[in-house]
Structure 1
Amino acid sequence: MLKSLTKILSLQSNYGIKQRREHDENIVALPVQLANCNVCVEENRHCNCDHTIAEDRNNTTTAEGVNVDVEHDSNADSSFAHAVINMVGMLIGLGQLSTPYAVEKGGWASTLLLVGLGVICAYTSHILGKCLEKNPKLTSYVDIGNQAFGSKGRFLVATFIYMEIFMSLVSYTISLHDNLIIVFLGTHLKLKLAILSTSQLLTLVAVLIALPSLWIRDLSSISFLSSLGILMSLLIFVCVSVTAIFGGFQANNNHSIPVFKLHNIPSISGLYVFGYGGHVVFPDLYKSMKDPSKFTKVSIVSFTIVTALYTSMGFMGAKMFGNDVKSQITLNMPPNQIITKIALWATVLTPMTKYALEFSPFSIQLEQTLPNSMSGRTKLVIRGCVASFLLLTILTLALSVPYFEYVLSLTGSLVSVAICLIFPCVFYMKIFWGKITRPLLVLNITLVIFGVLLGVIGTISSTELILRKIMSHHST
Structure 2
Amino acid sequence: MEVKKHEDYSVTLPLLFDNEKKEEDEEYISSTGNASFISTCFNGVNALSGVGILSVPYALASGGWLSLILLFIIASSTFYTGLLIKRCMDVDPTIRTYLDIGERAFGKTGRMLVSMAMNVELYLVAAGFMILEGDNLSELFPEMDFEIYGTHIGAKSGFVILFAIIILPTSWLNSMSVLSYISASGVIASVIILCSVFWAGEFDDIGFQEKGKIVNWNGIPSAISLYAFCYCAHPVFPNIYTSMRNQRHFSKVLFVCFSFCTFTYTTMAVIGYLMFGTKVQSQITLDLPTNNLSSKVAIWTTLVTPIAKYALMITPIVNTIEAWILSSYNKRSYNFLIRTILMISTVIVALSLPFFGYLMSFVGALLSVTTAITIPCLCYLKISGIYRRIGVEMMIVWIVVLIGIVVAAVGSYISLLDMINNV
Report deviation, 1:58.
8.2
Supply the distance in 1 between the matched residues of 2:11 and 2:65 (Cα, whole angstroms).
57
RMSD: 3.2
Cα separation, 2, equivalents of 1:374 and 1:283? 24
- 1:265 aligned onto 2:220: yes
The 1:250/1:437 distance shift into structure 2, 3 A limit, reads same
8 Å Cα contact 2:145-2:152 kept in structure 1: no
Residue 109 of structure 1 is matched in structure 2 by: 66
CA shift digits 1:76-135 (9 cap, x unpaired): 5634x6654443332111111000011111111111111111111111112222223333
User: CA shift at 1:297, angstroms?
Assistant: 4.2
1:452 aligns with 2:410: no
The aligned residue for residue 136 of structure 1 is 93
1:318-363 CA-partner distances (Å, limit 9, x unpaired)? 0011122111111122211222212211222332444444333333
Deviation at 1:459, TM superposition (A): 0.8
Range moving further from structure 2, 391-400 or 349-358: 349-358
Q: Are 2:367 and 1:395 aligned? A: no
CA distance in structure 2 between the partners assigned to 1:390 and 1:74 by the alignment: 27
Note if contact 2:201-2:208 (Cα within 8 Å) is conserved in structure 1. no
Deviation of the 1:290 alpha carbon: 5.8
TM-score of the aligned structures, taking structure 2 as reference length? 0.85
1:405-446 CA distance string (max 9 Å, x none):
100011111111011110111111112224765222122112
Kept in 1, the 8 Å contact 2:43–2:180? The answer is no
Quick one: structure 1 residues 289 and 210, their matched pair in 2 at CA, closer, same or farther if it must change by over 3 Å?
closer
Q: Note the 1:20-169 alignment, pairs <5 A.
A: 32-33=4-5, 51=7, 55=10, 57=12, 61-62=16-17, 72-73=30-31, 75=33, 78-79=36-37, 83-169=40-126
- Using the alignment, how far apart are the partners of 1:139 and 1:116 within structure 2? 28
- The Cα offsets for residues 130-175 of structure 1, whole Å up to 9 and x where unpaired, read as 2233333322322222221122222222222211121101211111
Q: Which amino acid aligns with 1:156?
A: L
Tell whether the 8 Å contact from 2:11 to 2:32 is kept in structure 1 after alignment. no
Alignment of 1:316-327 (within 5 A): 316-327=271-282
Aligned residue in 2 for 1:18 = none
Note if contact 2:377-2:400 (Cα within 8 Å) is conserved in structure 1: yes
After TM superposition, the structure 1 stretch with the greater mean CA deviation from structure 2, 264-273 or 346-355, is 346-355
Which of 218, 226, 236 is matched with 1:281 structurally?
236
Q: Distance in 1 between matches of 2:311 and 2:191?
A: 20
Identity of aligned residues (%): 29
Aligned to 1:27: none
Q: 1:419 aligns with which of 371, 377, 383?
A: 371
| Residues in 2 aligned to 1:86 and 1:208: alpha-carbon distance in whole angstroms | 23
Aligned residue pairs, count: 410
Q: Is the 8 A contact 1:207 1:352 kept in 2?
A: no
Task: Please tell me the residue identity of whatever aligns with 1:420.
Answer: A
Counterpart residue number, 2:268: 313
Name stretches of at least 5 consecutive residues in structure 1 with no aligned partner. Answer: 1-30, 35-50, 64-69, 471-476
Residue in structure 2 matched with residue 337 of structure 1 by the alignment:
292
1:360-400 Cα distance to aligned partner (Å, 9 max, x none): 333344455337467975x36xx52x544443332232223
Specify whether residues 442 and 199 from structure 1 end up closer, same or farther in structure 2 by C-alpha distance, changes over 3 A only.
same
The verdict on how the C-alpha distance between 1:56 and 1:295 changes in structure 2, with shifts beyond 3 A counting, is closer
Q: 1:364 to 1:82 in 2, by over 3 A?
A: closer
Which of 326, 343, 354 is matched with 1:370 structurally?
326
Q: Distance in 1 between matches of 2:234 and 2:297?
A: 30
Distance in 2, matches of 1:287 and 1:250, equals 46
Aligned match of 2:422 in 469, 472, 476?
469
User: What is residue 194 of structure 1 aligned with on the other side?
Assistant: 151
Instruction: Return 5+ residue gaps in structure 2 as ranges.
Output: 19-27
> Normalized against structure 1, the TM-score is what?
0.76
From the superposition, tell whether residues 116 and 189 of structure 1 become closer, same or farther in structure 2 (CA, over 3 Å).
Answer: same
Letter in structure 1 aligned against 2:407: L
- 1:31-59 CA distance string (max 9 Å, x none): 9537xxxxxxxxxxxxxxxx56x757486
2:372 and 2:159 mapped to 1: Cα distance? 34
| Correspondence 1:231 to 2:183 | no
Structure 1 residues 209, 309: CA separation in 2 closer, same or farther (over 3 Å shift)?
A: closer
Which one has more relative contact order, counting CA pairs under 8 Å at least 6 apart?
2
For residues 288-332 of structure 1, give each alpha carbon's deviation from its aligned partner in whole angstroms, at most 9, with x where no partner exists. 556545544443343232212111110000001112211111112
Using the alignment, how far apart are the partners of 1:87 and 1:60 within structure 2? Answer: 25
In structure 1, give the amino acid aligned to 2:90. Answer: E
Q: Are the aligned partners of 1:32 and 1:71 in contact in 2 as well (CA < 8 Å)?
A: no
Contact kept? 2:58, 2:280, Cα under 8 Å: yes
